[in-house]
Homo-oligomer: A and B are copies of this chain.
Amino acid sequence: MTRRPRPASAPPRATIADVAAAAGVHASTVSRALNPATRGMVTDAVAARIAEIAQRLGWQPSTLAAGLRTRRSRTIGILVPDLVNPVFPPIVRAAESRLAEAGYATLIANTDMDPAREALLIERMAAQMVDGLMLASAARGSGAIELCRRWSIPTVLINRRLPGAGLSAVINDDGRGMALAVRHLLALGHRRIAHLGGPAGVSTATDRRTGFRAALRAAGLPVEAPIVAAEAYTEEAGRRAMQSLLAGPAFTAVAVANDMLCLGAYDALAAAGLDVAGDVSVTGFNDMPFVDRIAPPLTTVRIQHAEMGRRGAEQLLAEMADPDTARRETRLEPELVIRASTAPPGRGSGA
């Protein structure tokens, strides 16, 4: 005894055959009339009548059946490390909107930064025959890229790039963004500036660290500034990283790789009896929601969340439409937002 998927009371959904019968034409004619791409092959009068009948019967195309035939599911997958990280919702949302406009549904999954889980999810997306993939979870050695290649799934990276992967990416200009933050600290008079960096293997972390060093060098400062890498982009990791910075050489300002890390950093500073801005200036990265309302409001680098999602979707649509579309790395311009977490040095003692 198998359970029937739909209650017996519900009428089965109308198919093209039903419409054809009602219209007194062949199913192929109905298919042509109802498919925008082939509507032109059919007499206007017939097409109109078919459309009317389809409407009356409540016909809906079955993406499954169409997809089986055409080998496209009109579905796009988006993989994010963790949807709860506030950086991602605006990106995902913008991408979803653009894709919906183009008639695509959006499959979302969280990788938890677990390569095994990520691989599983990609396999599953491949099984679902997604037409394209947007990866916000790119990291060195994840194997994701070769899976996408193996299943020939058009793929675009967002937020993070992966040098050598040969994939399009829509990212922030992380180096420039970090330079904006560092130059701001220098302008305030800071000379002993530390860097609280992101986790290894992630482009946002390496690009921002590189940008940090370059900005110091450009200012003629010694580059052997205190640098610590957090193990992940989390509050807790930020707390621990800040603790280890505080155990090292003194500094009056710290350029942090990510706003989430800043929250933990704030805690660690408070625990050490230090005042943000007063004793240690702090800059973040991302301008994620509500960092303008924490105490003190965070000076940070604003990224173009929505634009990133939109442009990523755009690029993916282009590559799906024409596989020969040139791969490109789009770097979005970041912008410094100055708030109250930065101030000239010397008001307090530094750290």
Residues of A within 8 A of B (CB): 3, 5-7, 10, 13, 58, 60-65, 67-68, 70-75, 82-84, 86, 88-90, 92-93, 96-97, 100, 105-110, 121, 123-129, 131, 150-152, 263, 266, 289-291, 293-295, 321-323
Contact = CB atoms under 8 A, between A and B. Distances in A.
Contacts of A322: 3
Quick one: copies of this chain in the complex?
2
* 5 A-B pairs closest in CB distance: A295-B295, A10-B152, A293-B294, A290-B290, A6-B152
Given A7-B323, A60-B151, 4 more contacts: A3-B322, A93-B110, A96-B110, A106-B109
B7 A123 contact: no
A89 B83 contact: yes
A64 B68 contact: yes
A340 to B, nearest CB: 10
A60 B123 contact: yes
A286 B180 CA distance: 36
B109 A71 contact: no
A96 B83 contact: yes
Contacts of A67: 64
Contact of A150 (B58, B65, B128): B58
B75 A128 contact: yes
A72 B62 CA distance: 12
Contacts of A65: 68
Contact of A5 (B5, B72, B293, B294): B72
A73 B124 CA distance: 12
Name the residue in A65, A121, A123, A131 with the highest tally of chain B Cβ atoms < 10 Å from its Cβ: A65
Contact of A110 (B7, B13, B97, B121): B97
Contacts of A84: 89-90, 93, 289
27 contacts: A3-B321, A3-B323, A5-B70, A13-B151, A58-B150, A60-B123, A60-B126, A60-B127, A61-B127, A62-B68, A62-B129, A63-B129, A64-B64, A64-B128, A65-B68, A75-B128, A84-B90, A84-B93, A84-B289, A92-B108, A97-B110, A105-B107, A105-B128, A106-B107, A290-B291, A293-B293, A295-B295
A86 to B, nearest CB: 6
Contacts of A71: 5-6
A64 B129 contact: yes
A63 B63 CA distance: 12
A59 to B, nearest CB: 10
B64 A73 contact: yes
Contacts of A62: 68, 127, 129
A63 B71 CA distance: 12
A63 B106 contact: no
Contacts of A96: 83, 108-110
Contacts of A10: 152
Contact of A83 (B64, B92, B293): B92
Contacts of A323: 3, 7
